[in-house]
Amino acid sequence: MKIKDVLKNGIESLNQSKIEDASLKARMLLSNILDKSKEYLIIHDEEEINDKINNLYMKKIEQLKNHEPIQYIINTQEFMGFDFYVDENVLIPQPDTENLVEEVLFIIDSIKDKNLKILDLCTGSGAIAISLSKILKSDKILIYGSDISEEALKIAQNNAIQNCSKIVFLKSNIFSQINDNYKFDIIVSNPPYIETNIIENLSEEVKHEPHIALDGGEDGLYFYREIIKNAKKHLNTNGYLAFEIGYNQKNQVENLLDENGYKNIYSRKDLSGNDRVVVAQNM
């Protein structure tokens, strides 16, 4: 069977199940299996595919029809221009989170003394910490990543190796296993922030992502409360706390920061105009 026919079958099968972006996902899938670019599929659409490859392809098409995220099937997601391994043990890094990384880079650029320590709390796949490391390329900046999940930390460690980044990873439930002597200049976090009773209403694809990385408690603010309350003893004077937030959480998170004695609180919107990042400084 030719490449063009394999793709046609895959796209038709996905369309029958009303899978969004069927053509794009079908091409991404075959490109991944063949280890070829999507351009290759166009140029070589008359090339013959053997039965083994075709059967594997259609098996993975069935996974897509069951609403498994394409990123988990091909085990990769691009973030900040870098490739990261992902599977069902970690949240899939999203373009919205790039706003958080860009804001942290802006903060670092404003700091004169570049001997810095940065903590990525709830690191998951390590995408934030590793992206910062690769972009900054500085031996003066030490970057740490922490997570409660051992499976996530293994993935983050492998992603750091794959991306040639030096990150110190720590297993910790928020700050519980981080020594009080650890002081950071910046703590950055994309914590779970979805309200518990909303999770069941999310898309079928999102519901394949780890529940522990989605559930922010009854009001979605559990982790913000815990981090804001405990971060002060882990931040240097004038150290920064930078969060990704849900589109409707700006006021609540800013109020929590104000109530806990932080200063210079501000927010940033994403490209869609939604409030996406909140930043504050320790007194």
| pLDDT for the residue 170 | 96
pLDDT of residue 119: 98
pTM of the model: 0.95
**DSSP assignment string, 38-78:** HHHHHHTTT-B--HHHHHHHHHHHHHHHTT--HHHHHT-EE
Q: Which residue's entry shows tokens 């031996």?
A: 139
User: With contact defined as beta carbons under 8 Å apart, do 239 and 185 qualify?
Assistant: yes
State whether residue 224 is helix, strand or coil: helix
Intervals of the chain under pLDDT 50:
none
Largest CA distance in the chain: 66
> What pLDDT, on a 0 to 100 scale, did the predictor assign at position 180?
85
Q: What integer pLDDT is reported at residue 57 of this predicted model?
A: 98
pLDDT score for 266? 98
- The H-or-E segment that residue 79 falls in is strand 77-79
Place of tokens 């063009």: 4
pLDDT value of position 30: 97
Angle at 175 between CA 173 and CA 177, to 5 degrees: 70
